[in-house]
Each structure stands twice: as structure tokens, then as C-alpha cells.
Amino acid sequence: MIELLFLLLPVAMAYGRFMGRNSIKQKDQTIKQDLSIKYSTGLNYLLSNQKDKAIDSLLDALKVEDDSVEAHFAMANLFRKRGELDRALKVHEHLVRHGNLPTKDKQQAVFELGKDFLSAGLYDRAETMFNKLLKSPDYGLKSLNYLLQIFQSTKDWQQGISHQKLVVKFNDKRLLHTLANFYCEQATSAFEQDKFIEVIELLEQALKLDPNSCRANWLMAKIYENHKQCELACKCYQDIYQQDKEFFPDVIDQMHKCYLHLDASDEFFRFIKKVYDETASSSALISYLSYVEKKHGNKKAKEFLLSALKRRPTIRGFKHLVKMEMKQADDVDNKASLDLIKELIGEYLKIKHRYSCRNCGFNSSTHYWSCPSCHEWEQLKPVRGLEGE
């Protein structure tokens, strides 16, 4: 009920202005009477709790002037926040229809109307509104942002890509990153059909827009691998480490396979040792331990693991220690106990989430390129700390 006071105020002000004049001409007299009737009708509807009729009547009575535009926007925003979208739409449409509104206010009304349609899930209408504002210095970038959100929701990657010129012109990092992911989505479809050239071209476009897109390099490594171009795949994996150290643990096993194809295992472990020294990741540690074990034996590997766990304990590292102990245990009972501990730790890790969104904190056991909660791209990364990396 209180939000309708926003309407009542400007109406009352306009009414007061007419009443306050000393000499009222005939025309003004008619307007005054008309305003008075609509104002009283609106007030009556309001008092009898007929909100929609009250809004219609008060909007009708209201002359949109400089001093009342802000009141309109504030009231419509209140409606939208409360989920009363039909009412917010009504007020914004009233502003858009108004002929004499200054350009800036008119653009704001179109923009807010677009947001109303978007909240109501009316994507086509929202798109029409935002498209009208793309050349506006005040609302161009914001509208483009919403348009890309719509294309993401409808998985219309091509429509998003058709706005590339504008995205490049605005040079907004977040939008460039979003568009790079649209290319990655298209590349994923092409990858599923094994269209080698198309995948590479799409991913090159993605990297041109966002040189830090580890997703583009990840997919590129996969297609090179499928086509037995392991040297190029290894280069992509190395690039991923430079682009996103937090995501890198997820590609270690695949990268190892690539180096094995090239018969360059030692080179891989040199790289992984460097990764472990720089990031202390438990995946890098476990991978490197297999090398130490092979080269220097189980004892040395165990010593290395123990000193690593003392410096930075992790459940995954501890599970690996139990596994190593099992290899050395002679006693059958000992082996059975260790096996039980290993199983328990395994079960414990299974109920823990592997990934968390760095943007909103959403947790998941499955990896998604777009966060299911906040819809940001490439924000789900392996969890760090005792129960993670």
C-alpha cells in the first residue's frame, strides 16, 4: 500500500499547483476539475484496497513532469522488488509512452522495462528493449550485458557472436570473457562431431577475445590429442597452467598421458615438480610421487610425502600415504586394517565437493563451465585446503 504514496504525492503536488494560482483561466479550471476527480477516484480505490484500479486511476491523473519522474521509477522498482511485475510494467510502459520525456529519462524507462520483461521471462520483449539502447552512452554497455545474459539463457550462441563488433568496441573484460565462452560452446558442438578445422578456428576466435580462456586451451588440447598431435596438446596444457593455476590440477592426468605418447615422461615430471613447488597442489604431489617411487624407490617416495604432509596436510595426501603403507605391509592383518582406513578416507572424500564457484561459493561434485547458481563462466575450480587440493 505504501508504494502508492509515490503516485499520490506528485498527483497531489499537481493538484496543489492548480489550486494555488490566483487567477484560474477556463482551460485550467477544466483540467483542475478533471485532476480532482481522478485523484479522488484513485484515493477511493486505494482506501478500498483495490490496488490495480488505484494505479490506473492515479497514473491517468499523473502528468509526468521533471519533479515526478523519479517518483515513478522509485515506485516501479519497489513493485519489481516485491515481485509485482505486472504493476512495475504498467508504470514503466506509462513512462515510455509519454511523449515529452527527456531522452535520458526515456532511455531509463526503456531499460527498466527491459529488466521487467527479463524478470518475467519474456525474453523476446526484453531483447527488443535492450536492442533499442545499444547506441546509448548511458545504457549501451548495460543493455549489451543483459542481451548476452538472454542469449546465454536461451543457448543462442550465434546471436551472441553476432554482437561481437560491439563487444570488442566496448572492450569490457567480462563481456569479452563471456563471448569467448560462446565460441567455446560452439566449438564443443563441433568437437562432438569431430570437425577438427572448425573446432580449431572457433577456439582461436575465443582466445583472440580472451587470451586467458583456459577452457579454449583445454578443448584445443583434447582435439589435438584425438588427432594424435600430442606435442601441440602438451603446449595447450602448459598454457592452461599459466592461465589458471587453480584449474590446472584437473588436467594433470590427461597431460601425463600426452607426454607418455611422446615418450617424454621425464620432461612431464620436471614440469609437475615445478607445479608442485609453486602451488603445493595435492594432485601435483601425488603425480610427482609416482616418479620418485619409480626412480628412487618406495622409501624415498614415502619420505618425500611425509615431509610434504608435515608442511601442508591434506586428506588426499594422507590417503596416498596409507596406500604406500599398504604396499610395504607384510602382515595380512595390518594390510586389512590399512585397506579399511583407505576405504573410509575414500568414502569421506566422495561426499565432499570437488569444485567450488570462486564467484558465489556454489559447491558441486561435477564440473560446469557456467556456474549453475550465478551463471558466471569458468568460475568452478577444485576446492583448496585440507579436503581439496
Shortest distance in whole angstroms from residue 356 CB to Zn ion? 9
Q: Which CB sits closer to Zn ion, 336 or 360? A: 360
Q: Which CB sits closer to Zn ion, 320 or 354? A: 354
Please state, in angstroms and rounded to a whole number, the distance separating the CA atoms of residues 265 and 284: 14
Shortest distance in whole angstroms from residue 247 CB to Zn ion? 15
- Which positions lie near Zn ion, rule CB under 5 A? 357, 359-360, 362, 371, 373-374
Q: Which CB sits closer to Zn ion, 37 or 374? A: 374
Q: Which CB sits closer to Zn ion, 119 or 373? A: 373
Quote the distance between the C-alpha of residue 369 and its chain's center.
9
Name the grid cell of 97.
Answer: 509512452
Shortest distance in whole angstroms from residue 374 CB to Zn ion? 3
Considering just the CA atoms, what is the radius of gyration of the chain in Å? 31
Q: Which CB sits closer to Zn ion, 218 or 362? A: 362
Neighbours of 188 (CB within 10 A): 17
Shortest distance in whole angstroms from residue 219 CB to Zn ion? 21
Shortest distance in whole angstroms from residue 361 CB to Zn ion? 7
Residue 368 corresponds to which amino acid? Answer: Y
Please state, in angstroms and rounded to a whole number, the distance separating the CA atoms of residues 338 and 111: 64
Q: Which CB sits closer to Zn ion, 335 or 358? A: 358
Shortest distance in whole angstroms from residue 373 CB to Zn ion? 4
Shortest distance in whole angstroms from residue 372 CB to Zn ion? 8
What residues pair up with 377 in beta bridges, in sequence order? 370
Q: Which CB sits closer to Zn ion, 191 or 377? A: 377
Residue 356 corresponds to which amino acid? Answer: S
Shortest distance in whole angstroms from residue 358 CB to Zn ion? 8
Q: Which CB sits closer to Zn ion, 88 or 371? A: 371
Place of cell 567450488: 356
Please state, in angstroms and rounded to a whole number, the distance separating the CA atoms of residues 236 and 125: 42
Binding residues for Fe cation: 357, 360, 371, 374
